[in-house]
Amino acid sequence: MTAIRLTAPAASGKPFRPALRCGNVAAMGMDWRRFLWRGIGHLVEPGVHLWLRRRAAAGREDIARLPERFGHAATARPEGRLIWCHGASVGEAQALLPLLQHLHAARPDITLLLTTGTVTSATLVQQRAMQGLLQGVIHQFVPVDLSNAVDRFLAHWRPDLVLWSESDFWPGILAELRRRRIPALLVNARMSERSCRRWNLAPGTIGWLLQAFATIYAQTAQDAERLRRLGATEAIEAGNLKEAAPPLPAIAETVMQWQMTLGSRPRWLAASTHPGEEVQIAGVHRALQSRFPGLLTIIVPRHPQRGPEIATALTAIGSSIALRSRSEAVTAATDIYIADTLGELGLWYRLCPIVMMGGSLIPHGGQNPLEPARLDCAVLFGPSMFNFSEAVAGLLDAGGAQQVQDAAELTAALGILLADPAKVAEIASAARAHAGGRNRILDILRDAALRSLPD
């Protein structure tokens, strides 16, 4: 076969990486998986366009930024070095933000490109940028894993290094990073034993994906061992980025306004709740409100768009509800306030001394208990916290949290804490001490990223 060489002019002064350089399939450094994936992508591309437009019509995509999903950049690439960081959704993006700040502080000359895949994560990034917390960072939506979109995205941004987060594996993107010899690190990686067993059913595929990363920085030693077992070239324990985050921000004036509104009223927070939990939480409120006159329960749903649906369900069982998205006031008659907005958990953690983590009363795996721990909260959670097992174990050992098995135990534990502010302060102090001083991972990943940049 005659050798093929396709090149294109660089958009800046930086040399362009050839899109294709081959003499035969073996010399191209490609394998059947990449060819198969690209072929499938070409076949399904019209359907993906239709699917994304339907998602946009339903509010699950940003219609104004839909071209970004097909690799069309919304802004020019700055000159100089660029590191592409990717986090799939809100949790992954939020965990990456402190690392981005750490990288910018060390090397302000490097542009940081952050991609995410959801509208809520984009909104969070925009809020953090408006708060001045994301200097040197450009946000784009991650391209869909179709060859045309990926090629277009990489040709425009030409990343010098990629930091991929957790386990959001996209075969087309990872194959192109490897083919173009773009160095990549997998950070904050996790691999449960259950997922490991499933991937073992396709060992060639997972090994092929993992080998796109020069080094994998896993959350725990167990995660690293499983990733090596599945074919990772190098996997080491570095810790959990979610344990290194600074306290969630809040606007000081808003905090003071709410403190004046709520006064000394007894209150507690159910944070990042999921379907099936809010009715249980309303039941806990009803069981305690006669013992604690004026008790206010604040619910922050994990997905803010569920606010009206939650309000309807709780009103139907007799609760007096106020909804933040509708600017409804909290009055003396309000039982439950649904804070269905994005990016305000820092506000509610500062206002509520007792916090129950959502996703733990149902078999979801829980939400990050270190966020309220950093803000002087006594932390409660249900039996399902497997997504944060290491953080849970640390908090429990430190006396900074209590675990309950169901809504009845939650009612009992909450009743004890509401009646004993000194006990709340003791637990909160232990939680804060445990959650603090856990930023070693930021230094590890910053140094690894800077060492991995090509000369």
- What secondary structure does DSSP assign to 59-113, as a single string? TSS-GGGGGGGGT--SSPPPSS-EEEEE-SSHHHHHHHHHHHHHHHHH-TTSEEE
Same domain, 267 and 168: no
User: CA 397: distance to chain centroid?
Assistant: 26
Question: pLDDT tens-digit profile of 360-417?
Answer: 999 999 999 999 999 999 999 999 999 888 889 999 999 999 999 999 999 999 999 9
Same domain, 89 and 237: yes
Q: How confident is the model at residue 168 (pLDDT cuts 50, 70, 90)?
A: confident
Same domain, 184 and 283: no
Question: Which CA distances in Å does 296 have to 36, 96, 127, 238, 251?
Answer: 56, 33, 27, 40, 22
Coil, helix or strand for 445? Answer: helix
| Rounded CA separation 387/192 (Å) | 9
The pLDDT of residue 27: 34
Whether pLDDT at 139 is above 70: yes
Q: How confident is the model at residue 439 (pLDDT cuts 50, 70, 90)?
A: low
Least confident span in 181-185, 240-244, 445-449:
240-244
Residue scoring higher pLDDT (426 or 387) = 426
Same domain, 281 and 214: no
Same domain, 231 and 291: no
For every residue of 212-266, DSSP letters joined together read T-SEEEESSHHHHHHHHHTT-S-EEE---GGGSPPPPP--HHHHHHHHHHHTT--
Question: pLDDT tens-digit profile of 272-324?
Answer: 999 999 999 999 999 999 999 999 999 999 999 999 999 999 999 999 999 99
State the CATH number of the domain containing residue 83.
Answer: 3.40.50.11720
The mean per-residue pLDDT over the stretch 416-436 comes to: 94
The pLDDT of residue 438: 58
DSSP structure class, residue 76: P
Coil, helix or strand for 107? Answer: coil
The pLDDT of residue 14: 39
- Which of 398, 409, 316, 314 shows the shortest CA–CA distance to 360? 409
Q: Do 127 and 102 touch, CB atoms closer than 8 A? A: no
Joined tokens for residue 307? 């606010």
Catalytic residues: 92
Same domain, 235 and 259: no
Same domain, 117 and 266: no
Q: Is residue 375 situated within a structural domain?
A: yes
- φ, ψ dihedrals at 381, nearest 5°: -155, 160
Same domain, 259 and 238: no
The mean per-residue pLDDT over the stretch 105-130 comes to: 93
- State which residues form the domain around 269: 252-435
% of the chain residues with pLDDT over 90: 77
Q: How confident is the model at residue 240 (pLDDT cuts 50, 70, 90)?
A: confident
The mean per-residue pLDDT over the stretch 226-251 comes to: 90
Q: Is residue 25 situated within a structural domain?
A: no
Count of CA atoms in the C-beta half-sphere (13 A) of 218: 20
The mean per-residue pLDDT over the stretch 122-151 comes to: 91
Same domain, 428 and 290: yes
Count of CA atoms in the C-beta half-sphere (13 A) of 45: 15
Same domain, 259 and 367: yes
Q: Is residue 3 situated within a structural domain?
A: no
Q: Is residue 2 situated within a structural domain?
A: no
Q: Is residue 14 situated within a structural domain?
A: no
Same domain, 419 and 360: yes
Q: Is residue 46 situated within a structural domain?
A: no
What is the Cα gyration radius of the chain?
A: 24
Question: pLDDT tens-digit profile of 263-286?
Answer: 999 999 999 999 999 999 999 999
| Rounded CA separation 294/374 (Å) | 27
Q: Is residue 23 situated within a structural domain?
A: no
- φ, ψ dihedrals at 220, nearest 5°: -135, 165
The mean per-residue pLDDT over the stretch 424-445 comes to: 87
| Rounded CA separation 167/162 (Å) | 14
Q: Is residue 12 situated within a structural domain?
A: no
Same domain, 194 and 272: no
State the CATH number of the domain containing residue 374.
Answer: 3.40.50.2000
The pLDDT of residue 5: 26
Our count of domains for the chain comes to: 2
Residue-averaged pLDDT of the chain: 90
Q: pTM of the prediction?
A: 0.69
Joined tokens for residue 139? 């946000």
